[in-house]
Each structure stands twice: as structure tokens, then as C-alpha cells.
Amino acid sequence: MRKLLVVGAGQAGLQIALGLQSHGYEVTLLSNRTADEIRAGRVMSTQCMFHTALQHERDLQLNFWESQAPDVEGLGLSVAGPDSGRAVDWLGRLDGIAQSVDQRVKMAGWMEIFAQRGGRLVIHGAAVSDLDYFARTYDLVLVSAGKGELVSMFERDASRSPYNAPQRTLSVAYVHGLGPRPEHPGLDAVRCNLVPGVGELFVMPAYTHTGRADILFWEGIPGGPVDAFKGIRDPSEHLSLTLELMEKYTPWEYARATKVELTDAGATLSGRYTPTVRKPVGRLPGGGAVLGVADVVVANDPVTGQGSNSAAKCAAAYLSAILEHGDKPFDEAWMQSAFDRYWETARPATEWTNAMLAPPPEHVLNIIGAAGSLPRVADRFANGFDDPADFDHFFYDPDKAAAYLESAAAEA
């Protein structure tokens, strides 16, 4: 029987480990934290996942929280305008629902299920020197340890990484008590508020330990007014600053947030990182090779909510590649081909995310503006979060954008 090691128990690592386990593989999973530590720890993400990624979980029957989590039916976009108003405000309908299940709930639950089903779970923070040994004893080592230190084994791919510094600061607060959006009180949506020159405020429904919650997530332009969370350790101070910034820059969102309180002591998170694509094969000092998974090899800024979606797609692509490979050796050529398969979905997500981090060119502003009066444009934009490859057809090129808007207007 083939022996596989998965290092890191996040979205991708657990999905691969549980998937391989269901196909009878002998899998060892290394996690630097126990399920209880994850559950009682700090929030890690806003983890909104769209239809395709959720379907990968359903295919493996891992969608344990689907009936409890709020169904996100739409994606709304607002652009702050003069006098505290909105220059743009629309809602696009998603073809399939999206959901956000707190990773503390999901990863802790999945880890326990992996162990209950007979999987070998080892609590250990792996170092590069450990991997040297593991690469000799396992048929394949998959490194799914997120953006931590182990990425140092994987060379940065400069041709696919346009940025060499963080493009946003990230500040998250999970809350109870957010009021409904007056424009569509009966419909849950992710709301993306763009504040030119300042950043973005995302507001999204989620499921956490204490039931339904909403997430307030500021992405701030470094050095700007939202880049103000560094050094704040006290969760209530974090929430106060979040609300203060909402009152100033997105008063329409603040109006429904006046009664919110944090869901728990670990409900806040802040940080920043540089979006980076890496080469998929990690080289070990002893000569061995390991395969990088999800954020290890493609870490995009969360401004487009693609990371967990991409992690689920990466896990699905690698799982198929492993199953199809049968008993043949997992050599470097195979590792590269497994990554190439993943890159088919990661490439559009990466290009779109990197584009959304830059100030929008005129033709993009035209698309965003037109969506306010053309629901089909709003719907298409919203569904691009599930399948960013669709943006290739109308988003990047001014001529294609103009032709698309013309045809959408003619059909309206």
C-alpha cells in the first residue's frame, strides 16, 4: 500500500487526507495544533466558498455544516461616493449558493473525523529537517502548511508574482447582532464596499461555534487610514476601530452595525502578506522533493475571496492526479504535472485577484457602473467569484469590455 504524508491540516491538507483515506490510502497527517487548540483559537480567515469549491466538499461528503450555515445567494458591490453616499450599489445573484463555515469549526471537525476513521494524526510542527527524513520514508509528501515557514523550500515564481510587498492590510471581526440590509432584508449576500484610496470593507454572513454570525473585514491600502490595526491586541479595541472606520467610510454598513458584539474571545484577526506564486516542487537539503499544496504555492490576497476556494480546487486536482497515477512513482515530473492541472484554475484566480488589487482602469469602472442598471452584468460579475476564468472574456481588455457592455445593453 502507498504511504502518503500530508503536512498541515487546513482546507487543502484535510480535504486531500480525507479524500485519500476514503480511497483506502494509508495517510499520515501532521498538524502543528490539536483540534481543540484550533477550535479554541483565533479566527483564521473569512473563508467564503462558492459553488464549485463547495461541490468538491460535497463530492467527498464533507459538507457537515451545510444545513446550519447561512446560504449566501448574492454578491453585492458598493462604491463609496461623495458626501458619505454610494456612487454605485448593486446586487448580483449567484447561480449556486456560497457559504462561509468558520475554519475553526471545520478544520477541528474534519481532523477529528480523519482520526475517528483510522487516520494517523500526529501533532507536530514539522521543520525542514523533519521533511528530509519523511521524504525518504513516504511515497509522497504533500506540504499544505499555508503561508508559514515551510514555504522557504519553494522558490518564488517571479513571472507569476507581480508584487513583492503586501498590497492590503487585513483586519477581521466576527460579530453577532448585525442588522439586515434594508435593500434586501430577506436575502443573504456578501457585500463588497470599495472605498477609493482607502481599501475595501467586506461584510459577509458566516457560521461559527455560536451559530450564525457576520464578518466585518477591512482590507486597507498600506499606509492609509485603515492600516491602523497593528499592535492592537485587545479584541474589543479591534472591534471599536473596525466600527469607527465603518462609520467614517461606509456609514450605510455602520448603520446596521450599531448593536454588534464579538462572537467570542478569538473573533478578531489582523495581519498582511505578500501575494506570491511559488514553484511546486520543494527541494530538501538531503536531495528529496516534496509537493507544495494550495497557499504554499499560490497565496493570493483575500480581496477576491479566492484562497479557500483555490485550496479546495487544488485538493481536488491533486487527489485525482494521485488516484490516476496508481502505483507509479511520484517523481518530480508527476509533481509538476499535478500542479499544472491545479494552475488551470489557480491562474485565472491569481490574475483576477492581482488585477483587483490595482486601481481600477476606466473599462473596469465602466463594468462596475453598468452592473447597477444591467442585472445580467451584475450577475455575471458575482458568478466570476466562483469561476474567475470567465473574467478572461470581458474584464481585462478595454475592447472586450466595451463589446460586452454593448451587447448586454442591447439584450436588456
Ligand X SMILES: Cc1cc2nc3c(=O)[nH]c(=O)nc-3n(C[C@H](O)[C@H](O)[C@H](O)COP(=O)(O)OP(=O)(O)OC[C@H]3O[C@@H](n4cnc5c(N)ncnc54)[C@H](O)[C@@H]3O)c2cc1C
Binding site for ligand X (CB under 6 A): 7-13, 30-33, 45-49, 125-126, 144-146, 148, 150, 170, 172, 269, 294-295, 302, 305-309, 311
* CA distances from residue 112 to 60, 107, 135 in whole angstroms, order as listed: 16, 9, 25
State which residue, 250 or 300, has the beta carbon closest to ligand X.
Answer: 300
State which residue, 46 or 350, has the beta carbon closest to ligand X.
Answer: 46
The minimum distance between CB 140 and ligand X, in angstroms, equals 16
Pairing state between β 169-176 and 211-220: antiparallel
The minimum distance between CB 109 and ligand X, in angstroms, equals 13
CA proximity to 275, closest of 353, 197, 221, 342: 353
The minimum distance between CB 271 and ligand X, in angstroms, equals 7
State which residue, 383 or 401, has the beta carbon closest to ligand X.
Answer: 383
State which residue, 205 or 307, has the beta carbon closest to ligand X.
Answer: 307
State which residue, 250 or 308, has the beta carbon closest to ligand X.
Answer: 308
State which residue, 200 or 363, has the beta carbon closest to ligand X.
Answer: 200
CA proximity to 68, closest of 29, 109, 30: 109
| Residue 290 backbone dihedrals phi, psi, to 5 degrees | -130, 155
The minimum distance between CB 157 and ligand X, in angstroms, equals 16
How is 212-276 classified by DSSP, letter by letter?
Answer: EEEEEEEEE-TTSTT---TT---HHHHHHHHHHHHHHH-HHHHTT-TT-EESSTT-EEEE----E
Distance CA 389, CA 391 (A): 5
Residue with cell string 473574467:
391
The minimum distance between CB 211 and ligand X, in angstroms, equals 19
Distance CA 73, CA 93 (A): 6
Residue with cell string 463555515:
101
The minimum distance between CB 310 and ligand X, in angstroms, equals 7
Residues linked to residue 281 through DSSP beta bridges, in sequence order: 291
The minimum distance between CB 103 and ligand X, in angstroms, equals 6
State which residue, 17 or 79, has the beta carbon closest to ligand X.
Answer: 17
